[in-house]
Amino acid sequence: MTDTETRLRDYLHTQAATVPDNAQGPGLEPPERRRNWPVLAAAAAIVVVVVLAASLLTRGDRPDPARRPAPPVSGAAPQVPYTVYEENALHDGKQKVRIPKGIDGFFFGRAGGGWLGQQMSVPGQFRPGILLPNSTFRTLGPDRSGYQVLSPDRKQVAMYHYLSNTRGQVIVVDIQSGKQVAKLPAAAGQPALLGWNQDGLWMDRGKAGLVVWQPASGQQRPVSIAGFDGSAAIPAAAGTIVVSTKADGKRCLKAGALRDDGFKVLRDYCDEGPEHLYPVLSPDGRTMIHSVRAEAIDINTGQVTKLKLQDRMTDTLPLPVFENGTQLLTLTETVAAGGAVHNQLFRCDVTSGECKLLVKNADGWTIHEP
């Protein structure tokens, strides 16, 4: 990470720490929301700005450098989309797509013949859309929308649409036609859209708790999970999800599934400590990752496999990403002389714990969901 990027990161962290619990406005949570979601949003902004937009923001204090090639990849290249800051480009297999100005560098999955991302029309205001292979960006939904989540079949996208600084609605847009096909009634307070699977669109509604909404029927179902603190991993193709909970001084990952009589916990894994846990779950719903401890937990058997990494896994955004049911891509953080943090990219087998270095100098790399 360059000195400029480090200063920008530290500045954004400082600004995030100054956000009051009762702050309102575009991109901020209503008063009753839990504190970790503004921090998560700020972390996402830090990833976007530091990793990819720094070249747009720092031209005043350094010349715009010539684009350098991405660091070499040792072994098979990542099988999921990834972006490289130095190139200002998205890679996916043999495709390399330039990211146009005004499009941030964090993407949310393959869809619509391209990749779901977001446009920042003015500071603090986003609009979802599809980055196409020809480097054009097709917007979806109205202005002042964001927090987009793909449907399990990747034909629709749910998003939150701000109607005012304190009021908005969740809408669903058909990707092919661009038309709105469903919505929830407008209400005060912004829900956090967590994921969409066979059960429906999962949302954290603050004091109202965890809710699953089926856009096709319009039905909402409350889901009670003791200690739920706002974070979840919800693979589109699996019925199992993992949530983060906090109770009695312990942080836990709870894997479970929605049943007729409520949420059934299939496996929980807890430890002491102040860290907030951001869940990661394999696409088949069988393995969850404890990023702070670099461990893979088999949900059926409870077996814990230590991932053989010398350095700390990134346990905030960008989180590790599964390529398939057993192969995990993760960035690690190496502290160099003077306190500078450098990233390396590894591929780990969650059944054996063996990890292989793919990119030694992965500063400015972000790995995305497929």
Q: How many CB atoms lie within 10 A of CB 276?
A: 18
Which residue is listed with tokens 């779950």? 281
Contact (Cβ atoms closer than 8 angstroms) between residue 331 and residue 309: no
Q: What is the pLDDT of residues 31-43, one digit of tens each?
A: 333 333 333 443 4
Phi, psi (5° rounding) for residue 337? -60, 135
Q: How confident is the model at residue 104 (pLDDT cuts 50, 70, 90)?
A: confident
Contact (Cβ atoms closer than 8 angstroms) between residue 34 and residue 206: yes
Q: How many CB atoms lie within 10 A of CB 324?
A: 12
Structure tokens at 356: 């292989």
Q: How confident is the model at residue 344 (pLDDT cuts 50, 70, 90)?
A: very high
* Mean pLDDT, the chain, whole residue set: 82
Tell me what pLDDT residue 190 has. 87
Tell me what pLDDT residue 38 has. 35
Structure tokens at 56: 């747009």
Kindly report the length of the chain.
Answer: 370
pLDDT for 22 beyond 50: no
Is the peptide bond preceding residue 370 cis, with omega within 30 degrees of 0?
A: no
3-state helix, strand, coil in the chain (%, to 5): 10, 45, 45
Structure tokens at 301: 């058997």
Which residue intervals of the chain are DSSP H helices? 3-17, 36-48, 54-57
What one-letter code names the amino acid at 174?
D
| pTM confidence score | 0.81
**Average pLDDT, integer, range 18-41:** 36
Nearest-CA neighbor of 83 among 111, 113, 112, 47? 47
Helix (H) or strand (E) holding 156: strand 156-162
Tell me what pLDDT residue 5 has. 39
Structure tokens at 68: 């350098």
Q: What is the pLDDT of residues 288-311, one digit of tens each?
A: 999 999 999 999 999 999 999 999
Tell me what pLDDT residue 8 has. 38
Tell me what pLDDT residue 50 has. 35
CA distance 287 to 296: 6
pLDDT for 132 beyond 70: yes
306-308-314-315 Cα dihedral, nearest 10 degrees: 10
Q: What percent of the chain has pLDDT over 90?
A: 65
Phi, psi (5° rounding) for residue 101? -60, 140
DSSP 255-303: EEEEETTEEEEEEEEEEESSPPP--EE-TTS-EEEETTTTEEEETTT--
Structure tokens at 279: 């869940």
Contact (Cβ atoms closer than 8 angstroms) between residue 176 and residue 147: no
Sequence-distant (6+) residues with CB within 8 A of 45 are 12, 16
339 or 65, greater pLDDT: 339
Q: What is the pLDDT of residues 194-248, one digit of tens each?
A: 999 999 999 998 888 899 999 999 899 999 999 999 999 999 999 999 999 998 8
